[in-house]
Structure 1
Amino acid sequence: MYQYRNVLVRMRQGDSDRDIARSKTMGRKKLAQVREIASERGWLAPEFPLPDDGVLSTLFERREALPVSCISTLEPWRDQITKWHAAGIQGTTIHATLVRNHGFTGSYSSMYRFLGQLVSLQQPDVPLRLTFKPGEAVQVDFGAGPLITDVYTGEIFKTWFFVMTLCWSRHQYAEFVRDQTVATWLGCHRRAFESFSGVPSRVIIDNAKCAITKACVYEPDVQRAYAECAEGYAFKIDPCPPRDPQKKGIVEAGVKYIKGSFLPLREFRDLDDANRQLQAWVMNEAGNRIHGTTREAPLKRFAEVEKSLLNALPSVPPELASWAKVKVHRDAHVQYETNHYSVPFRLIGCDLWLKATGTMVTLYREHEAVASHVRLTGKGLRDTVTDHMPPEAQAWQMQDTQWCLKSALQIGPACHAMVHAMFGDHVLIKMRAVQGVLRLKQKYGAARLEAACQRANHYGTPGYKVVKIILEKGLDQLAPLAAFDALATTYTQGGRFCRDTQTILQ
């Protein structure tokens, strides 16, 4: 319509059709038609105003010729083609299927036009840009970091970087970590809040296992440890729907910004050095750049407006603990991060809740604490509380070498000499044999056991089997052996072949 109006103005000024056509605005044939219509309606007279665009469009708008047939040859299969197209099947495949199974004789061009019509009839997916108030929300995500070679130890390890971005100011906190465990997730939150000197009202996250145990659009299950962290810092968790990262596009852009602007062409001596460089970059280059969306420096917006609107940090920081459901093994221990911790033996086979802080591990049966341990820092370690074991196991653990010697001395000097000789074996550890000898006291009494040990020592055959046969056959009740007392004294004072000078001279 602008061209028609321009042509009418030049005609009113007295320009000929040849002059107007020479400017390549419109052909002479079309100009003749426009001049004829304008003359009939008096538009060429200077005293009359030009018509508006609506009137011009009714007279000069191009009318498209209707096709001979508006009905596609694929119309009989519209419903089926619509289902296949919605399922993501290619147009060439749909066309080949119709030719092969339904006798369709048309070309693929008709299929191409038909699919174009289907696309045009669909309602466009228009995203809604989310807006946030100062201090209202942050978005959190992990990004894949570089492989770092520790120059001091030579260790090569994979890293990730944690990013928390304030939605209004775009100021962010970033940190390199070595894993994505619950403890790391919670620790990064604490350090981020302390960096901001405040807590936002809402934390928008994806469905990472360290935060969400079951992803769901409507009712996701939150990790118990993360729920306690949210209660302690007084913020609410807002998980994105599964497979919909656009809901946290602000932090997604922050992750890409770190990957594109910070990571390339940098070298790190170790993890601490990487974090020092990252923090300096965030507070200088990244924080003072003009952001592409807000058109202001994120650090300036944060310092001047958003920082004062964040919720205050709690006076006492909440305890950050990881929770895990564990099962008690048959040895009365549970496993957590490759280490084992004992619980009372009566709970074997039960499912317990394990709460792990930085220093302690506590086990709960429902709401009752049943065991506490100092957290082990190594791998493959075992912490066993003696009282957690059954009485038999406690007795076995207590019956060490010193206990056996003490118990034998209470029975008598001959028994003590025999136990001492059995422990002096150069080949076998005769702990079970010694315990078996001492256990014969329960059946035969201390006096008979002492007499049996005297007889076994006299013949130079100290051992469990010999003492047992002596007691079973009653040989300990025979007449005392000659020079028995001197022999027993010899065993008691130092050994089988050790005698003083007086004994040798006799």
Structure 2
Amino acid sequence: MVAKLSQNTPLPFRRMEVAPGQEAQIDFGAGAPIVAADGSRRRTHVLRVVLSHSRKAYSEVVYRQTTDDLIHCLEHAFWHFGGVPKTLVPDNLKAAVLKADWYDPDLNPKLRSFCEHYGAALLPTKPRMPRHKGKVERGVAYVQENALKGLTFSSLREQNDHLLHWETTVADTRIHGTTQQQVLKHFREVERPTLGALPRERFPCFQEGQRIVSRDGHIAVAKSYYSVPPEYLGRTLWVRWDSHLVRVLNDQMEVLCTHATQSPGRFSTLPEHIASEKISPVERGAEWLLKKASFIGENTKDWSHGLVATRGVEAVRVLQGLLNLSRKHPAQVIEQACETAHSFQSYRLPTIRKLIEHSASKQGTFEFLDQHPIIRNLSDYGDVVRVDFRTEAYRS
């Protein structure tokens, strides 16, 4: 008797009902098998999305429970409902949640972007608490027992067509046991007006993944290579790509750069991603070299323009050699050489070198002064020498 009195009395579960348009619960279950013409069988998964207030639902079968499959099914459900609920409540399936946490779960970035596109929030249930989405738990069982039990199909499309017809003719027309309302009528009159508006365009379908920036400042995506800013060398970045664009994102999922999708084996390098120290003067082009040459002086500028006009593409390397001379010789010497060469219309770098060498070999002449306050007469030096001799003779 004492043991019975000491037992705790469990508290009853609290039913949670929500306002129209506030919530949709999501869950996967086993679908009917697909039997091919050769007799091979393939299992399927049925995803059911249930609006928590009216119990209006959408069902679709897929072969796999990937993030892309989940996104496609959710998008089809939104367009089937004609609107978007404010929150989506799945369990902690891998397609939606990278790391389960009741307070702050780590959501799949692609699914998060999908929710942002449609203006919905994703709120997974507490781990190992299936009753937190009890409405859809029972809804999946309802599909399995009423719509798919004992059936097989030859394709996914055939099974999905069957499910859509069943939703319309059976699930929507029933009187729900809890709400005591016809599902379709209650949805049309009460919940559909409260759903969020659909966007003008559907969610852009893309692939994504993480990539490490290689030593050459590029990342590999589908056998092509795309540049990133040089400060991200060696770091891991998120990449999203489709048939048109490749977007590179940082850890905060902010877009760093965008490239046009390249064919396999091709490189896409944006000019701003090349470090200035790694850009050679030849790559910068003749205009940049002419501007640098003009800083030496007007004669050098005139000679450089004459060089480009005379020799065309060959002038780029010659200009580079001229700029290298400015590191070894004063600007005045180069100016004099360029003036002379330009006057004879000689646009060869060896000519400039010889003129500079000839100018540098000249030595200035200096006149010696006969008289200066610090210069003594020769007689004074003679007296010094005689005194020195006498001192040496005395010592010996």
- Fold in common (TM above 0.5): yes
Matched position secondary structure for 1:134: coil
Determine if contact 2:247/2:256 at 8 Å carries over to the other structure: no
The one-letter amino acid of 1:175's match is E
Please state if 1:142 is matched with 2:34: no
- Secondary structure of the structure 1 residue equivalent to 2:80: helix
1:349 to partner: Cα distance: 4.7
Shift of 1:355: 0.9
AA at the equivalent of 1:216: D
Question: Helix, strand or coil: the match of 1:216?
Answer: coil
Q: What are the within-5 Å matches in structure 2 for residues 105-504 of structure 1?
A: 115-118=3-6, 120=7, 122-151=8-37, 156-327=41-212, 334=220, 340-344=223-227, 349-357=234-242, 360-364=245-249, 367-369=255-257, 371-373=259-261, 383-386=264-267
Q: After TM superposition, give the deviation of residue 324 of structure 1 in Å.
A: 2.5
Letter in 2 for 1:368: L
Structure 2 vs 1, CA of residues 198 and 386 (structure 1 numbering), >3 Å: closer, same or farther?
Answer: closer
- How much has 1:275 moved relative to structure 2? 0.4
Q: 1:209 to 1:329 in 2, by over 3 A?
A: farther
- TM-score, normalised via structure 2 length: 0.59
Q: Is the 8 A contact 2:18 2:53 kept in 1?
A: yes
Name the amino acid aligned to 1:185.
L
Query: What is the deviation of 1:287?
Result: 1.2
1: distance between equivalents of 2:135 and 2:205?
27
Q: Which amino acid aligns with 1:270?
A: S
In structure 1, list runs of 5 or more residues that go unmatched. Answer: 1-112, 375-381, 389-506
What CA distance in whole angstroms lies between the structure 2 residues aligned with 1:271 and 1:247? 30
Whether the 8 Å CA contact 1:364–1:371 is kept in 2: the answer is: no
Contact 1:186-1:320 at 8 Å conserved across structures? no
Q: Residues 311 and 356 from structure 1, CA distance in 2 versus in 1: closer, same or farther, beyond 3 angstroms?
A: same
Cα deviation digits, residues 414-473 of structure 1 (max 9, x gap): xxxxxxxxxxxxxxxxxxxxxxxxxxxxxxxxxxxxxxxxxxxxxxxxxxxxxxxxxxxx
1:150: Cα distance to partner?
3.1
Where does residue 347 of structure 2 map in the other structure?
A: none
Offset at residue 319 of structure 1 (A): 2.7
1:59-83 deviation digits (Å, cap 9, x = unpaired): xxxxxxxxxxxxxxxxxxxxxxxxx
Deviation at 1:244, TM superposition (A): 0.7
Q: 1:226, CA displacement in angstroms?
A: 1.7
Partner Cα separation in structure 2 for residue 233 and residue 249 of structure 1: 24
Tell me if the contact between 2:207 and 2:241 (Cα under 8 Å) persists in the aligned partners: yes
**Alignment partners' CA distance in 2, 1:371 and 1:365:** 15
Q: Structure 2: how far apart are the matches of 1:255 and 1:360?
A: 38
Specify the code of the residue in structure 2 equivalent to 1:249.
G
What is the RMSD of the two structures over their aligned residues, measured on CA atoms? 2.9
Q: CA deviation at 1:161?
A: 1.0
Cα shift at 1:210: 1.7
Report the 3-state secondary structure (helix = DSSP H, G, I; strand = E; otherwise coil) of the residue aligned with 1:140. strand
Q: Tell me how far apart the structure 2 counterparts of residues 261 and 204 of structure 1 sit (CA, whole Å).
A: 24
Q: Distance in 2 between matches of 1:321 and 1:275?
A: 24
Q: Structure 1 residues 266, 154: closer, same or farther in 2, change over 3 A?
A: closer
* Partner amino acid, structure 2, of 1:289: R
Letter in 2 for 1:293: T
Report deviation, 1:245: 1.0
Q: 1:146 to 1:358 in 2, by over 3 A?
A: farther
Q: CA deviation at 1:306?
A: 1.4
Summarize deviations over 1:83-133 as a string: whole Å, max 9, x none: xxxxxxxxxxxxxxxxxxxxxxxxxxxxxx665444x2x252321100111
Judged with a 3 Å threshold, the aligned counterparts in structure 2 of structure 1 residues 236 and 117 are, in CA distance, closer, same or farther, namely same
Secondary structure in 1 aligned to 2:15?
Answer: coil
Secondary structure, in 3 states, of the residue corresponding to 1:179?
coil
1:161 aligned counterpart, secondary structure: strand
The aligned amino acid for 1:262 is A
* Structure 2 CA distance for aligned equivalents of residues 356 and 239 of structure 1: 27
CA distance in 2, matches of 1:206, 1:176: 18
- Which stretch of the first structure deviates more once superposed, 167-176 or 259-268? 259-268
Equivalent in the alignment of 2:346:
none
TM-score, length-scaled by structure 1:
0.47
Q: Distance in 2 between matches of 1:248 and 1:342?
A: 44
Cα drift, residue 154 of structure 1: 6.4
- Higher RCO structure, 1 or 2 (CA under 8 Å, sep 6+): 2
SS in 1 for 2:261: strand
State the identity %. 30
For 1:365 and 1:245, the matched residues in 2 are separated by 34
Gaps of 5+ in 2: 270-396
Larger Rg: 1
Distance 1:249 1:181 in 2: 23
Q: CA deviation at 1:344?
A: 4.5
Distance in 1 (CA, whole Å) between partners of 2:138 and 2:29 is: 11
365-374 vs 172-181, greater mean Cα deviation:
365-374
CA contact (8 A) 1:225 1:320 kept: no
**Does the C-alpha gap of structure 1 residues 350 and 301 become closer, same or farther in structure 2, counting only changes over 3 Å?**
same
Q: Is the 8 A contact 1:343 1:370 kept in 2?
A: no
Residue 143 to residue 117, structure 1, CA distance change in 2 (3 Å): same
